[in-house]
Every structure is written in C-alpha cells, then in structure tokens.
Amino acid sequence: MVRLSRLLARFPRILLVVPPILAGIFVPAVVVGNPKPAPPNTIGMSFMDFTGPDTVYIHRGQYLTFVDSSRNIHEIGPGLNGHITDRVRGEPLTGYHLMQTDSVYKTGPWLTPGTFFVTCGLHPSMNLTVVVLP
C-alpha cells in the first residue's frame, strides 16, 4: 500500500494552486450579473478597455475615480501596455489596484501638471492618458 505522503510528494503542487487562480479570474465573468454602468465623471471599464475617451484632462488637485463596470477583474496602475511601473513623481497611483465588478477606486489628488499613463496589468490594450492641467 502506497502511503499518502508519497503520493502527495509526487504530485506537482502547482496543480493545486493554478485552478483556484484561474477560477478567480474567469468565474466572475460568467457568474456575476450585469454590472452597474459607471456614473458620470468616472472612468468605467469594459471587457478589455477603459470606457470613454483615451485621454482624460483634469486640473491640478482633482481626483480620478475608476469604476469596474465590467464582469472582469482589472489590475490598474501607472504604466503602459499592461506593464505596471513604479510611481512617477506627481502621480498619485502607486503599485496596482485590483478591481472587481462594481468596485470603485478613487486616486489621491493629481498635484503635478503633466502627462501620465494608466494601464491594466491583465489587459495590455487598456491604456489611459491622464493630462493634468495647471
């Protein structure tokens, strides 16, 4: 009789980890009901894109509010083409923010005039340009 510990030692542990991660990504897209539309003056999200214009103009000191108005999870942060980068001076986004259906994330105030980029780490085609006016 083969002992259970020997069987578990031979079993690749990654096979225990990967299915729950994939389920966490794909199940909400199937199970979750219709998400609420993004309210006015917010940045919504569709399947693989931000809703609205590709460039957002705000004045110095204003905030941005992101709403996951899709059935998918998104991982937003500073960067381009799905590559989340370190915080850029003057940009209130730090790291990445995991967004689930109907969740809301409000940035800190954008205090430095300039052009900044926001992307989704899971969907490289999701890119947003933020222009902060003086």
Q: How do the domains of the chain map onto residue ranges?
A: 43-133
pLDDT per residue as tens digits for the range 72-103: 889 999 999 999 988 777 788 878 888 888 88
Reported pTM: 0.72
Class for domain 43-133, per CATH? mainly beta
Q: Which residue has the tokens 């998104």?
A: 74
pLDDT for 37 equals: 72
Summarize the confidence of residues 41-68 as an average pLDDT.
92
Calculate what percentage of the chain has a pLDDT beyond 70. Answer: 74
Distance (Å) of CA 65 to CA 59, 116, 126: 14, 15, 16
CA-based angle 42:95:31, to the nearest 5?
Answer: 60
**Banded pLDDT at 133 (limits 50, 70, 90):** very high
Which residues, other chains included, contact 73 with Cβ-Cβ below 8 Å and sequence gap of 6+?
24, 25, 28, 98, 99, 100, 101, 122
